[in-house]
Structure 1
Amino acid sequence: MRGPVKVQGIALMKLSGLLFILPALSRYVPDIWQLPLALVPTYWPAHLLWALQTGAPVAWRYLAGSVLY
């Protein structure tokens, strides 16, 4: 019984890496892909950080998205 549990744990760990990779990829994909990527929970805080670093006036939108998501 221990074997399948280990395999499932490793698979879950690999899939959880997408939560960190997808927001980074959103910087390099066309705008049409931004909406589906906005469903990833880490999208909003990542974009908030980037907006604050560049001084973008739309940072409040990403803050609101982070809080509401």
Structure 2
Amino acid sequence: MREAADYIVSLPKAEQKHRAWQTAIEILIGAAEGRDFMLHAWIAMKQALGKDTPTREPLKKRVKSYRIIR
């Protein structure tokens, strides 16, 4: 947790104000105080680190057509 906190503090102030980093900071503090899980802090850090990567479009599969038999 110390390394994550040091990394966040070393970021430029404009970058620290980004919503993803604000969420990571809040959850990291919660984990340090025992109010939140470490896994949540890890996930928030991974999301904040990858916030600049473009998201992939979901694969579009052809929908199967079914015929109703009465």
Bigger share in helix: 1
Larger Rg: 2
TM-score bucket of the superposed structures, by smaller chain: 0.3 to 0.5
